[in-house]
Amino acid sequence: MPKELFGTDGIRGVPGTPPLDDATLFAAGRSLAAYLLAEHSAARVLIGMDTRESGPHLAALLAAGLSSAGASVAFAGVITTPGVACLVRQNDFQAGVVISASHNPYQDNGVKLFSHAGMKFPDSVEETLEADILKHRSAPPPKNPPLPGADASLDAEYLDFLRSRVLPGTNLTGFRMVLDCANGAAYKLGPELFRTLGAEVVSMGGSPDGRNINAGCGSLHLDGLQKRVVSERARLGVAFDGDADRALFVCESGKIVNGDGVLLAVARYLKSQNKLKGHRVVATSMSNLGLERVLAREGITLARASVGDRYVLEEMLRSGTVIGGEQSGHVIFLEDSPAGDGLLTAVKIASLVSMHGKIESLVEGLKDYPQVIVNVKVKSKPPLETLPEVSRALAEAQSALGRNGRVVLRYSGTEQLARVMVEAEHDVDVERFSQSLANALRSSIGA
């Protein structure tokens, strides 16, 4: 059964309208508390949020719902999504709740749930919660419930965890770096983390006003960071998204290093330390063929999971892999945390750069195949294999490209979009087949 409320990254929408209306949020808190009390002897829940102006109201409604059903609530205030996952895992919380829509604009928001293990709940639990939420959301929510007071000690604990993950041999004293915090959840934590590690930090995107999160800054808008890294003569630039569960990097020269580059750099390091279990890395269907090829030359297998950090994690746990992630910069260091964490990734890459000189040397030999992603607005999401015109276009592309290219068709988990990804040795093939597939989708189910 398709879920009505939960997508690939929790419940996402526009505050004030379903599924982020007051009644649904209050019911979600109540249902989470009821589920936890049925599974545990207590229900202590940690709530955190990013900097969106809608965050406090959403957090207050969820806290009210949780409390009404017998849970106790702690509030971390503004903190990163992986920060909540970390604190839930390290403390006696049965669950964590994050109010964030990640890299989306401020008008959107969302609710992400984490289990005591610091991982997103499995589909089966989300289905149970959803059924209960739908059953109880007709109950009137409280008017203007109070927001719990934020516990500042939680920030300090999370920063202690991150500092403990610096690689042996690292020296960040005087290390000049530029951080673009996207006017989001890392706006205080990021600069404080690296300054206490000895780095010279130039901060961008550090003045949130509730509406400027991800606006022309952060991991979706790297132009400003590229220019600033070059002008500041910095060793490294780091861009986070709104909830800082991902990080992208900029070299001294201004060149961008995405999640594929991070996976290569970390895999090489772990292999050199005899810590790359199974000589395997987990990525997704969106990672570039160039990553797969360069890893293969070094005796490292690239396993591909479906798009979404939960699917990367599932494959890592299944196969015993210690490093995995997405091209978007969402990287999981499983021996440190089961959650993708932009600040943790930044600590690891800054450590490697401090030891090896330049990030370019860490990703040497990585040659990206030409790749394009086309988003097609759709009115419905039937199984793609049931669309004859799309199936014909896909078969033609796969036959022509053979082993020298890839095609990925999928629906967005959070938006009414179909995504077409085509990768090939030659730009002309990328353009030709991406357009033929996009046109087939438009004529079949286009909005």
Region(s) of the chain under CATH 3.30.310.50: 371-445
DSSP 361-421: HHTTT--PPPEEEEEEEBS----GGG-HHHHHHHHHHHHHHGGGEEEEEEE-SSSSEEEEE
pLDDT of 4 reads 86
Active site residue 138: no
- 102, 115, 203, 354: the active-site residue: 102
**CB-CB contact of 389 with 284 (8 Å):** no
pLDDT of 305 reads 94
Q: Identify the architecture of domain 257-362 in CATH.
A: 3-Layer(aba) Sandwich (3.40)
Q: Identify the architecture of domain 157-166+174-255 in CATH.
A: 3-Layer(aba) Sandwich (3.40)
**CB-CB contact of 242 with 79 (8 Å):** no
Q: Identify the architecture of domain 371-445 in CATH.
A: 2-Layer Sandwich (3.30)
Place of tokens 């951080």: 179
Q: Identify the architecture of domain 6-154 in CATH.
A: 3-Layer(aba) Sandwich (3.40)
pLDDT of 1 reads 54
Please report, in tens digits, the pLDDT of each residue of the chain (447 residues total). 567 899 878 999 999 999 999 999 999 999 999 999 999 988 999 999 999 999 999 999 999 999 999 999 999 999 999 999 999 999 989 999 999 999 999 999 999 999 999 999 988 999 999 999 999 999 999 999 999 999 999 999 999 999 999 999 999 999 999 999 999 999 999 999 999 999 999 999 999 999 999 999 999 999 999 999 999 999 999 999 999 999 999 999 999 999 999 999 999 999 999 999 999 999 998 899 999 999 999 999 999 998 888 899 999 999 999 999 999 999 999 999 999 999 999 999 999 999 998 999 999 999 999 989 999 999 999 999 999 999 999 999 999 999 889 999 999 877 899 999 999 989 999 999 999 999 999 999 998
pLDDT of 286 reads 87
Region(s) of the chain under CATH 3.40.120.10: 6-154, 157-166+174-255, 257-362
